[in-house]
Amino acid sequence: MGTELTHAVAESADVSVDAVLGEGTKVWHLAQVREGAVIGDGGIVGRGVYVGSGVQIGQNCKIQNYALVYEPAKLGDGVFIGPGVILTNDTYPRAVNPDGSLKSADNWEAVGVTIRDGASIGARAVCVAPVTIGRWATVAAGAVVVKDVPDFALVAGVPARRLGWVGKAGVPLVEDGGQWLCPETGQRFIQENETLREAQA
């Protein structure tokens, strides 16, 4: 195969031989990465994390301890998943069919959570599929997300609602002369209704 990829997998982790781990990716104790999952370069999969079959995870993502990432979730580059986060995959969950028989993989259709580049999901938050979390958005700890989150939005609560906007540094933006300003980077943004876009330099 040419050059050998370098990644570190803890002895107690359970990583399928059919999973793909990128260069420099680390999988810590008791994590499980199922068949067909793809994790990009520079990823960190924390202790006790579950990554479902066929889940797609971009480069430089951090998935903290005991997060559950159920298929068919798709994560962009630079996504942060906090401790105990759950990305669900069943809109109408039931253990049994109406006739009382146990449901199998053939009795339901998995739906996924999509998380765009740079977004962060706080500890113990739940994203109820199907939802999309926009680029560089932040979901506060303990939130329950039941509808799509715009790029750069800060959402919190049960159900999650937008409280403000955040920049790429993760800090809240401040209003400044009809625009939104990141106090950390100086980057400016323009709000149009319930969306935010980067101002042209």
Which tokens is 165 given? 């906007």
CATH number at residue 115: 2.160.10.10
For residue 5, the model assigns a pLDDT of 53
C-beta separation of 133 from 120 below 8 A: no
Q: Does residue 12 sit within a domain? A: yes
For residue 129, the model assigns a pLDDT of 96
Nearest to 132 by CA among 121, 152, 116, 110: 116
Q: Does residue 40 sit within a domain? A: yes
Structural domains in the chain (count): 1
Q: Does residue 104 sit within a domain? A: yes
Q: What is the pLDDT of residues 65-91, one digit of tens each?
A: 999 999 999 999 999 999 999 999 998
Q: Does residue 68 sit within a domain? A: yes
Q: Does residue 188 sit within a domain? A: no
C-beta separation of 196 from 190 below 8 A: yes
* Percent of all residues in the chain with a pLDDT value above 70, rounded to a whole number: 97
Q: Does residue 141 sit within a domain? A: yes
Q: Does residue 44 sit within a domain? A: yes
Q: Does residue 196 sit within a domain? A: no
For residue 3, the model assigns a pLDDT of 47
Q: Domain range for residue 160?
A: 8-166
Q: What is the pTM of this model?
A: 0.93
Question: Which of 133-141's residues contact partners 24+ apart within 8 Å by CB, and which partners?
Answer: 135/76, 136/166, 136/167, 136/168, 137/166, 138/166, 138/170, 141/82
